[in-house]
Structure 1
Amino acid sequence: MTSPVLLLLRDPSGATGHDAVAADQPVALATDLGITRGDGIFETITVVDGIPQALDAHLTRLAHSAALLELPRPHEPAWREAVFAAIDAHDEVAEAFIKLVYSRGIEGSGVPTGWVWLQPSADFTRERTEGIDVVLLDRGYASTIATTAPWLLQGAKTLSYALNRAAIREAARRGADDALFVSTDGYLLEGPTANVLLRLDGRIVTPKTDLGILAGTTQQSIFEIAQVNGYPTSYELLTPADLMRADAAWLVSSVRNAAPIRSVDGVARAIDAELTQSINAGLAARTA
């Protein structure tokens, strides 16, 4: 089918099995805590020519986020089965995405809610080839936040994305495509929906994940691609000055893939079109 595919898991934390739901029908009650409180988690997985990219890494991160929120551990076979069922139910397209949503469910019920949604991806050719304009935004906390305040759930991919969407709207108000957060003590963190990568002094680097940022599945895949192509990789403390002196920079995410950064706060910077094409070709060629 060409319309979106929606599957409701019968027991997202305990058994296999799911039911197909019409795309215009509800899968959760209005009192579900994922809706009323944002009390839940999600993953977004790119599907290229019918193959879900980095599926194992996404399922691992789903379980990690669940642990941080003290949700029942997601039953991996049930989610994996639903992913492939959604792909099989949809006409094959060049690129699509699958969203896994896992909520605490109705308050007091102790029964979580889970569903899988698949639809074709937007066309990101312009962002991948021409690049994106980025602004730096103060995230409002220090780089030690994950250690000093673990209850803020930094590093979990939660449904509470209102702040992330507000940051993207702020970037648009400033005439940019996206944003990159900076800690109050001056370190690069991540974008609202993406990780940042730099080619710096002959290596490919990204901010350390213990700074309260989400470990990226696409970033991990790019590190593997870079290592095959002879680039050393590392997780480091990086600053806006590093961003400006880098030979190339990207915001990377599961659906948009690697989008080269062509300007920061209105200051133009060079992009490496050849390396970007190689990275995105490598991402599209993944079979797992």
Structure 2
Amino acid sequence: MSLVIWAEGRLVGAGEAAMSAVDHGITVGDGVFETCTVLDGRAFALTRHLARLARSAAGLGLEAPDEQKVRDGVAAVLQEAVRSGGAFDGRLRITVTAGVGPLGSHRVEGAQTVVVAAQESVMAPESRSVRSPWPRNERSAIAGLKTTSYAENVVALAHAKAQGADETILPNTVGDLCEGTGSNVFVERDGELVTPLLDSGALAGITRQLLLEWGAETGLPVREARVGELPFAVLDEADSGDVQLVLTSSGRNVQPVTWLDGTEVAVGEVSAEARVLFEKLCRERIDP
């Protein structure tokens, strides 16, 4: 798969040094990032992703990223990707770190580091998921922020992959359904799709929000849960076939879960409609 990387104003090779060894993003994970879907060489929902990038930076206490600098990096990467490979579908990652800093957690204010990378990829039509043995801390200082401090997700996802899955679904600390390591989750029950409230600790996913908006626009029954409506135990109902599950993210769009902890799960009718709706509108509305 082709990989194009832009770091601080220049294109670099995958094996080429592009950041300081004492960049705070490397030493302590002090940074934020966004991942966009790329459709025919264009970044989907880029404006929304850049707005969330700024919100995450503010949540970490970082200065707002230089949006024009980020957009320049995105343009350079996508131009090179199309030039070298023609039609380009995949994903694009924008990373902004606190820049060069001390070896400890203390931050020195200064220039940030911006890296943009794009790689060809193909979305799987469905997911094989497992329940996570670890909860998401909805009271964490970084709850709801998309930061480069991703070790918890790496461990949880490795645990899932060891069981033949591609995602793991997490509860929060009070036993409510929360999210996946890199996705939001929707539960189909009684003819509607319902997703946990952001108060659960879940990330405010771009795909999640668009599905809620486009569902309301087209009459598809999609909504946020009421308080206490989605305990983590709702996943037990998937085993019996009483509910179905969907994951949403920039790497998945709207993706039904067809296997949960070794048990086949049917695709719900509303879930299937939601997937078709999103696939259609995301290509018609490249920057909604």
What is the TM-score of this pair, normalised by structure 2? 0.84
> CA separation in 1, counterparts of 2:2 and 2:233?
46
Return closer, same or farther for 1:141/1:48 CA change in 2, 3 Å cut-off: closer
**Does the Cα contact within 8 Å between 1:221 and 1:283 map onto a contact in 2?**
no
Residue identity matched to 1:28: M
1:240 aligned to which of 222, 227, 232: 232
> CA separation in 2, counterparts of 1:285 and 1:270?
29
Match in the other structure for 1:183: 172
Match in the other structure for 1:82: 73
> CA separation in 1, counterparts of 2:87 and 2:22?
35
1:27 aligned to which of 5, 11, 18: 18
Match in the other structure for 1:196: 185
Give structure 2 stretches of 5+ with no counterpart: 102-107
> CA separation in 1, counterparts of 2:91 and 2:156?
23
**Does the Cα contact within 8 Å between 1:204 and 1:223 map onto a contact in 2?**
no
Match in the other structure for 1:216: 205
Q: Secondary structure at the match of 1:221?
A: helix
How many residues align? The count is 268
Match in the other structure for 2:105: none
Match in the other structure for 2:264: 268
Match in the other structure for 2:163: 174
Cα offset, 1:208, TM superposition? 0.5
RMSD value, Cα: 2.2
Greater Cα offset, 211-220 or 230-239: 230-239
Listed one character per residue, the Cα deviations across residues 223-279 of structure 1 (whole Å, up to 9, x for unaligned) are: 233223312432224123444366532111102222211132233321147423343
Cα offset, 1:202, TM superposition? 2.9
Q: Secondary structure at the match of 1:223?
A: helix
User: Which structure 1 residue ranges, 4+ long, deviate > 6 Å from structure 2?
Assistant: none
Cα offset, 1:34, TM superposition? 0.6
> CA separation in 1, counterparts of 2:128 and 2:157?
12
Residue identity matched to 2:81: H
> CA separation in 2, counterparts of 1:176 and 1:104?
34
**Does the Cα contact within 8 Å between 1:104 and 1:111 map onto a contact in 2?**
yes
> CA separation in 1, counterparts of 2:278 and 2:172?
28
> CA separation in 2, counterparts of 1:263 and 1:23?
35
Greater Cα offset, 218-227 or 163-172: 218-227
Residue identity matched to 1:256: R
Match in the other structure for 2:5: 6
Pairing 1:139–2:134 present:
yes
Give structure 1 stretches of 5+ with no counterpart: 10-17
Residue identity matched to 1:29: S
Match in the other structure for 2:92: 98
Greater Cα offset, 225-234 or 65-74: 225-234
Greater Cα offset, 57-66 or 133-142: 133-142
Return closer, same or farther for 1:138/1:191 CA change in 2, 3 Å cut-off: same
Cα offset, 1:155, TM superposition? 0.8
Residue identity matched to 1:283: C
Return closer, same or farther for 1:207/1:33 CA change in 2, 3 Å cut-off: same
Percent of aligned positions that are identical: 34
> CA separation in 1, counterparts of 2:260 and 2:282?
25
What is the TM-score of this pair, normalised by structure 1? 0.84
